[in-house]
Chain A
Amino acid sequence: MVGAFWYGDIVPNGYAFPIDDFMTTGEYPQWSYDSMPQSLKTLHTWEGVGYGVLNDGDGQVLYYRRDALANPEWRADFKKEYGYSMPVPPKTWQQMLDISNYFNGKNWDSNDPDPDSGTVLHLKVGEQGHYHFQSLSASFAITPGPELDQHHNVYWFDPTNMKPLINSPGHVAALEFLQELHKTGPSAQVGWSLGEAWDYFLRGKSVFVFSWGDVGSLCQDTSRSKIQGVCASSILPSSDTYYDHKDKKFVKTTNPVKVGNTTGGSWHGVISNYSANPEATYSLLSLMAIKPASIWLAQNGWTGVDPGFTYQFLEPQGEAGLGEYLDAGWSEADVKDYLKAYYETFFADTFLPYLRIPGSFEYWDILDKNLSATMSGEISPKQALDNTAKTWEQITDRLGRDQQLGYYQSAIGYK
């Protein structure tokens, strides 16, 4: 099982076994890359060759409490305070922050007598904090455009010279925003990883969490969740202001584009070239990639496998029937929202590019440490991202700028 960000470290060095030949023989359980959105298919291949066997689809969506946001009393009060109707779901990050701020510190549900929070985050260093930042900052830092070029639809590096974009004003604005959002949640979340943050949301302690597909399916597990049936989801909001890398200025928009993401690892099987028996390995991995296994894995939260494939999406976008989910114990309202949110996220026109180059983990880990230092108040967002950019330059130089540039260009499809 590998994360998509490992490809740059394992494929060019000759450790991964290509599977295209196996897929066409017909001797193994049949699945196809066509079952995946293009965004996920990219993560399973390298320079046009298939390596990964379908298993898990990662991407972050917004989860919110349907009951809290629909409550007429809160809605009226919110309108009085903020001067506009609470949009459900929020279309922009800024609206989401207002709502989160509004609910934070109020005891807005009856699960317990204590005040609840707005948004819960998993920010522990060395864990999943930087993924939050990636998903959130995408709509702040990506300049949308019809094509991917030097300035449009890029996020990590300048595709002409590998200069980091990570400390661009858009990224800095996003990190400043994340700090504001952090204030609407428990301060302890700086030291929290997935488990603690999810548990907080599942116990009904926060209105929002934006995270992976696990949350949606865990909401249905009543042994852990108090919120089945009110666990709504949507594609992540977008920022009403984005940074234009070409004109070097912020652009305000009333109708921001939706930005999809495949944030995470999309963990799946890749056969090692050390395998003594690649045929048997492929056979087992394929068995778990076909519909009956895959949909079962996605329906159960504890598996850690999240949806993203046609046979997990509801008709007409996909092949799954609503009944299959209802039989598995899902709430109808929740599952409809959930699969729609993921469909929109994986099929969005504008997309957070995935960093698939040698050293991806190291680049991310440096980002992660600096983000964590910011969230705990040690350094400012600007300083954190400047530090990150500086260290990234050193990593790039150490690994070889030309080589890195080549891999980066091909990973994001820059021509």
Chain B
Amino acid sequence: MKTHRNTKARFVFLLPAAVWVLTFTIFPLVYSLYLSVHKVETKMNVSREKVPMLDASGNPVLDAKGNPRTKIKINREKISTWTNIGFTNFKRLAEDPQVHSAIKVTSIFVLVAVPSQLVLGILLALLFNQRLWARSFLRAVMLLPIFATPLAVGYLFFTIFYEEGGPLGFLGVPFLSHPDWALFSVILVDIWQWTPFCFLVFLAALQGIPNELMEAAKMESKSKWGLFANIIFPMLTPTIVIVLLLRLAEAIKLFDIPFALTGGGPGVATQSMSFLAFRTGLRYFDLGYASAMSYCLLIIVMIIVTLFFRKLRQSYA
């Protein structure tokens, strides 16, 4: 009897979470899959009629001549036709040069930005793990980019990269007007924004390595590289895998920085997959195709995440 009541209570407590997940995760997921294999056309049938104008207490309003005034009421009937088009949208993905370009842009971005963030994060963490002048102040400064809104960062760097009289204008670098440089600039901003996060996590991990362990190793070898490669790096590995995973999943979704900094351009040089999906879905209102793109992205992310978790589990075993 008691168990029974417990079950009920458990159900009640779980219900909000379940409803939340169903409403905001499962439903959109299923709906967008449904959308991706359909062509949706929405039309409205409209008719207008004149109805008497009523005042607050429900009496007809009269005009100057004493005739009842009328107003227009719009009757709407929304007609959506869903045509099953099978995997047409997914076939379009395979043939669409914009998609190919977006995958290329996203891949280059991920493959350059994420490793750079990790390496820089580790180097900075190693630096800050030593005694350093004004360490806590510098550490606080280092972390500031984490607290900036990506969109604002994009606009901020638009000013910094401004080629006619901007602060970096003297370099003569076409930060935003040359396709390769533009992608590099996007990568640079992402590195600026996310290296601190990697740094923070790695610093915490480094400080979690017992001091005596490092001292024991130090007494055995004076090769700093040997200690890093054999002690520090292996002990950081689980953390690196987690950070890599988080950064990969985040970086593949790249959207806000190009949106604010380059508009995806010049041309499509910085148009990422998410950006393209956004334009397709919310600018061309080709929701089915945008859903197909998003699914494509989701599958890529899931494959990567699964591989990583498998690797992670192995490294813990």
**Chains A and B share a contact (CB less than 8 Å):** yes
**Is residue B283 contacting chain A, with contact meaning CB distance below 8 A?**
yes
Q: Which B residues from 173 to 202 make CB contacts under 8 A with A?
A: 174-179, 182
**Is residue B256 contacting chain A, with contact meaning CB distance below 8 A?**
no
Binds A, one of B37-45, B212-220, B293-301: B37-45
**Is residue A33 contacting chain B, with contact meaning CB distance below 8 A?**
no
User: Which A-chain residue is minimally distant from B75 (CB atoms)?
Assistant: A273
Q: Nearest-CB distance from A12 to chain B (Å)?
A: 8
A376 to B271, CA, bound (A): 14
**Is residue B164 contacting chain A, with contact meaning CB distance below 8 A?**
yes
Instruction: Please tell me if the beta carbons of A362 and B283 are within 8 angstroms of each other in the complex.
Output: yes
**Is residue A29 contacting chain B, with contact meaning CB distance below 8 A?**
no
Measured between beta carbons, the chain B residues less than 8 angstroms from A373 are 179, 265-269
Instruction: Please tell me if the beta carbons of B267 and A370 are within 8 angstroms of each other in the complex.
Output: yes
Measured between beta carbons, the chain B residues less than 8 angstroms from A205 are 164
Q: Nearest-CB distance from A386 to chain B (Å)?
A: 12
Pick from A126, A277, A279 the residue with the most CB of B within 10 Å: A126
**Is residue B284 contacting chain A, with contact meaning CB distance below 8 A?**
yes
Measured between beta carbons, the chain A residues less than 8 angstroms from B76 are 14, 273-274
Measured between beta carbons, the chain B residues less than 8 angstroms from A362 are 283-284, 286
Instruction: Please tell me if the beta carbons of A191 and B284 are within 8 angstroms of each other in the complex.
Output: no
Chain B: number of interface residues, binned into ranges: 35 or more
A378 to B178, CA, bound (A): 9
**Is residue B71 contacting chain A, with contact meaning CB distance below 8 A?**
yes
Q: Nearest-CB distance from B186 to chain A (Å)?
A: 12
**Is residue A189 contacting chain B, with contact meaning CB distance below 8 A?**
yes
Instruction: Please tell me if the beta carbons of A378 and B177 are within 8 angstroms of each other in the complex.
Output: no
**Is residue B208 contacting chain A, with contact meaning CB distance below 8 A?**
no
Measured between beta carbons, the chain A residues less than 8 angstroms from B121 are none
A180 to B48, CA, bound (A): 55
Instruction: Please tell me if the beta carbons of B283 and A200 are within 8 angstroms of each other in the complex.
Output: no
Instruction: Please tell me if the beta carbons of A190 and B177 are within 8 angstroms of each other in the complex.
Output: yes
Instruction: Please tell me if the beta carbons of A275 and B179 are within 8 angstroms of each other in the complex.
Output: no
Chain A: number of interface residues, binned into ranges: 35 or more
A362 to B286, CA, bound (A): 10
**Is residue A186 contacting chain B, with contact meaning CB distance below 8 A?**
yes
A374 to B267, CA, bound (A): 7
**Is residue B94 contacting chain A, with contact meaning CB distance below 8 A?**
no
Q: Contacts A187-B174, A190-B176, A361-B284 given: A378-B266 contact, CB under 8 Å?
A: yes
Instruction: Please tell me if the beta carbons of A14 and B45 are within 8 angstroms of each other in the complex.
Output: yes
**Is residue A369 contacting chain B, with contact meaning CB distance below 8 A?**
yes
Mark contacts of A111-126 with chain B using CB atoms, 8 A cut-off: 1 yes-contact digit, 0 otherwise.
0000000000001111
Instruction: Please tell me if the beta carbons of A273 and B74 are within 8 angstroms of each other in the complex.
Output: yes
Q: Nearest-CB distance from B292 to chain A (Å)?
A: 13
Mark contacts of B217-231 with chain A using CB atoms, 8 A cut-off: 1 yes-contact digit, 0 otherwise.
000000000000000
Instruction: Please tell me if the beta carbons of A125 and B266 are within 8 angstroms of each other in the complex.
Output: yes
Instruction: Please tell me if the beta carbons of A273 and B44 are within 8 angstroms of each other in the complex.
Output: yes
Measured between beta carbons, the chain A residues less than 8 angstroms from B265 are 124-126, 190-191, 369, 372-373, 376
Instruction: Please tell me if the beta carbons of A17 and B162 are within 8 angstroms of each other in the complex.
Output: no
Q: Contacts A274-B76, A279-B72, A362-B286 given: A190-B45 contact, CB under 8 Å?
A: no
Q: Which A residues from 387 to 415 make CB contacts under 8 A with B?
A: 387, 398
A212 to B201, CA, bound (A): 51
A126 to B97, CA, bound (A): 18
Q: Which A residues from 1 to 33 make CB contacts under 8 A with B?
A: 9, 12-15, 17
Measured between beta carbons, the chain A residues less than 8 angstroms from B97 are 387
Measured between beta carbons, the chain A residues less than 8 angstroms from B72 are 278-279
Instruction: Please tell me if the beta carbons of B266 and A187 are within 8 angstroms of each other in the complex.
Output: no
Q: Nearest-CB distance from A257 to chain B (Å)?
A: 33
Instruction: Please tell me if the beta carbons of B44 and A125 are within 8 angstroms of each other in the complex.
Output: no
Instruction: Please tell me if the beta carbons of A14 and B46 are within 8 angstroms of each other in the complex.
Output: yes
Measured between beta carbons, the chain B residues less than 8 angstroms from A369 are 98, 264-265, 267-268, 271
**Is residue A377 contacting chain B, with contact meaning CB distance below 8 A?**
yes
**Is residue A305 contacting chain B, with contact meaning CB distance below 8 A?**
no
**Is residue B263 contacting chain A, with contact meaning CB distance below 8 A?**
yes
**Is residue A88 contacting chain B, with contact meaning CB distance below 8 A?**
no
**Is residue B104 contacting chain A, with contact meaning CB distance below 8 A?**
no
A369 to B175, CA, bound (A): 18
**Is residue B272 contacting chain A, with contact meaning CB distance below 8 A?**
no
Contact of A191 among B182, B271, B283, B286 (CB under 8 A): B182
**Is residue A170 contacting chain B, with contact meaning CB distance below 8 A?**
no
A-B contact pairs, 27 of them (CB 8 A): A14-B43, A14-B46, A124-B262, A125-B267, A125-B268, A126-B263, A126-B264, A127-B263, A186-B163, A186-B164, A189-B177, A190-B176, A190-B265, A205-B164, A273-B44, A274-B76, A279-B72, A362-B284, A365-B279, A365-B284, A372-B265, A373-B267, A376-B178, A376-B266, A378-B179, A378-B266, A378-B269
